[in-house]
Homo-oligomer: A and B are copies of this chain.
């Protein structure tokens, strides 16, 4: 007797699609069949005419918990995830306290498991001199990888990352410089984990911002001049050079500039171990949309031009880009009001990512197989959790999302499951929606109804 059978759907893998049935028991896929087995199942989902995908793995989420939980918390973000077909998310480590050592890792694991609707991974943080002595031990916990906010300082009291720091402020822990980062890379290389960076050159942005502000700039175009392409490509290039010598796997987070994709492609072609992700906003928005979308699309690195978008799609097409993730980073409606310089950057994303990608499939921009590669199989392999997640395969976790490629939807931010009811895609029409999300054999979302059970637990890389 199986627990669950998902029948008659088209099962999608990274390189094929075929009609079949998936049977699970105790949270694990037991059988994938072309003809029904005789043995019955307690529960059955009829996926006739629909597609059965491995559950989405969103590798880049800021639930801000513990921290400014008025914006979001882990229970809400994992509910939103389930609503969006996501069955595993990776939580970013810039919480308060940050995931900077073994003790904080254990604390955070316990804190999040208590509220998790779905499984999750944890990022560790590298904070320059603040925790460079902890990296090796932190690497021995179950973290997914190390995250570095290149150029950000740290407030010693609040543990908050500070961008516009005063270098003379005694409470500020100065950003790591190239020498420290190079040393940290050598240490991280030994742990076998990757180093992922938010890549924007702080000093260049500081200088350009001051000039633009002084000239009275206030438009989105001004914002882009103040955080130019060069800010990203400079850090990407520096990181590539340091990482190559240090022998560390280097991962570029949320790529936004077309030229960065080209640099990374070249590095891959000469054999460097470097990967790069992008996010829906870089694929589906561009500066030209600011007039209609407005401040909701202020995200860092900023969404750039159509020409960047085209090159990022080029990176999707030829496999330069390893995965797509949301960079879910909610703020309240009030916080997002005010002038463009002072409102915070970031937006919700975990719930809308899969619908946007399915819609792109319907628009002919990529195939459903590519979606499975970019959202499930790719991240599982990249972060080495493919012994447990990422594909529809006997023996793996029964993480599935059934999608209806015909169903249409107008995205309404008021119906989001996050605490934050703000989305840059509010009002967008999409075709292609998740209709059932199954996490470890349990239905956590069905026709927009999301469970409140918190069965999620930590996922760690193999070995």
Binding site for B on A (CB under 8 A): 13, 15-16, 18-21, 25, 28-35, 37-39, 167, 177-180, 182-183, 201, 203-208, 211, 228, 230, 233-234, 237-238, 241-242, 245, 269, 271, 318, 377, 381, 386, 391, 393-396
Contact B34 A28 (CB under 8 A): yes
In the bound complex, residues from chain B placing their C-beta under 8 Å from that of A37 are: 31, 37-39
The interface residues of chain A, by DSSP majority, are classed as: mixed
16 A-B contacts (beta carbon < 8 Å): A13-B393, A16-B386, A18-B394, A18-B395, A18-B396, A33-B394, A34-B395, A37-B39, A178-B201, A178-B234, A179-B203, A183-B207, A228-B245, A230-B242, A234-B238, A269-B269
Contact B230 A234 (CB under 8 A): no
> Which residue of chain B has its CB nearest to the CB of A37?
B37
In the bound complex, residues from chain B placing their C-beta under 8 Å from that of A377 are: 15
Separation of A178 and B318 alpha carbons in the complex (Å): 31
Contact A230 B245 (CB under 8 A): yes
In the bound complex, residues from chain B placing their C-beta under 8 Å from that of A30 are: 33-35
Separation of A31 and B5 alpha carbons in the complex (Å): 13
Separation of A206 and B15 alpha carbons in the complex (Å): 44
Contact B28 A31 (CB under 8 A): no
Separation of A396 and B237 alpha carbons in the complex (Å): 45
Separation of A230 and B238 alpha carbons in the complex (Å): 10
Separation of A391 and B34 alpha carbons in the complex (Å): 14
In the bound complex, residues from chain B placing their C-beta under 8 Å from that of A179 are: 201, 203-208
Q: Taking A31-B37, A39-B39, A393-B18 as contacts, is the C-beta distance between A233 and B241 under 8 angstroms?
A: yes
Contact A34 B394 (CB under 8 A): yes
Q: Taking A34-B28, A237-B238 as contacts, is the C-beta distance between A182 and B230 under 8 angstroms?
A: yes
Contact B238 A242 (CB under 8 A): no
Known interface pairs A38-B39, A179-B206, A182-B230; 9 further A-B residue pairs with C-beta atoms within 8 A, sorted by A's residue number: A13-B393, A15-B386, A16-B391, A20-B394, A30-B34, A30-B35, A32-B393, A237-B237, A237-B238
The 9 A-B residue pairs with the shortest CB-CB distance, nearest first, are A179-B207, A34-B395, A177-B203, A34-B394, A31-B33, A179-B203, A179-B204, A178-B203, A20-B394
Contact B178 A204 (CB under 8 A): yes
In the bound complex, residues from chain B placing their C-beta under 8 Å from that of A208 are: 179, 182
Separation of A233 and B237 alpha carbons in the complex (Å): 11
Contact A204 B230 (CB under 8 A): no
In the bound complex, residues from chain B placing their C-beta under 8 Å from that of A205 are: 179
